[in-house]
Amino acid sequence: MSINQYNLAGIIAAPVVSEKSTIAAENNKTFVFKVNSTANKANIKNSVELMFGVKVDTVHVLNVKGKIKKSGRTIGKRSDWKKAYVKLKAGFDIEYVGS
């Protein structure tokens, strides 16, 4: 199945800005993104290369389980989501607010 540029653009939802992701970006050129839950490593790699014009070295993916939250007597659950750690090849960098 061929995937076009419009589908690749919808794979990355947002950058994850946290203390851990900021340190990883500064030290290892590893950037953290919240991605579509159906995306795989190849799709994430192609999407990052297309959107930011960089070359990707490695992609590590993990599923984050949603937390159970309680508001009064009502118990609910936040949605599960997928996180991707993308390491860039030497000489490339991504500039965004979190880095």
Identify the pLDDT of residue 85. 97
pLDDT in the model for residue 10: 85
Structural domain contains residue 96: no
Per-residue tokens: 62? 């993990």
**CATH number, domain containing residue 80:** 3.30.70.330
In tens digits, the chain (99 residues) has pLDDT values of: 456 666 777 899 999 999 999 999 999 999 999 999 999 999 999 999 999 999 999 999 999 999 999 999 999 999 999 999 999 999 999 887 555
| Residue 33 falls inside a structural domain | yes
Q: Is residue 68 part of a domain?
A: yes
Give residue-wise pLDDT tens across range 62-83.
999 999 999 999 999 999 999 9
